[in-house]
Structure 1
């Protein structure tokens, strides 16, 4: 998976949250969608589905653990994409508008540094059924930030991808 952060805004020290507009991309293999032995494979190495067909194929039950609010962007049309490669590899991309919790430590306010996370997990599957991996292939960072990002009164000093598997009451 990868994340491209378009904006970070409305950072609120009182409510301890912030808004972000991001592109969330996931990929996986679904052998049921492999079409390498068909006539379609000769015509196209990949098929891009219309957004109205996305609900007809399996997608991971990903959710943002620290989201207070969230929605998919649908400005002009739903900002969702499914691309199926001939070997059954699926790329799922969606633009999300999120309000995320950030437990700030304000003891040195306003001269402090905050660490705010984007925490992603599976809602219903355990790690034996669904595993998340950051995609850092082709020398591209798994988390990218818009190079024109500006935040009044704040400086983004660092970003990194980490793993944090959790066990819940349901597994």
Structure 2
């Protein structure tokens, strides 16, 4: 059984390339391609409405990021930090000291036993005509929405769609 446990742990780190469109509303939409198997996951994020901690810069915000497994139609929500005016960096939220109580509670509830770590850093930024061409090819529903596109390396660690599904089933039957 130890071999099976080691195999499961090694599968918890997903690395690949993400293409993320930042919309004028502040929400993000895109996809993550896990390499080397080219497994595609959907990404959608909305900014959390809350008062900003005074020590954070204007380019800092919290995002509720939904990762969708297209093969199984399962989703997992993760609260992440977004830095940079064009959403150039996305990373896990280690603490939410100074945020409103509802945000702190949501972070604690979401992270619970299944801590998920996300890291994204933009390597290529596309705007205007280049962004529209990219959207037309890869995200046609976003064409004409004046989005900028970030492309870069992404790592997601600890994501377990099976555990999330079990939680959703329990919540729905209650």
TM bin, normalised by shorter chain, reads under 0.3
Report the TM-score when normalising by structure 1: 0.27
**Bigger helix share:** 2
Larger radius of gyration: 1
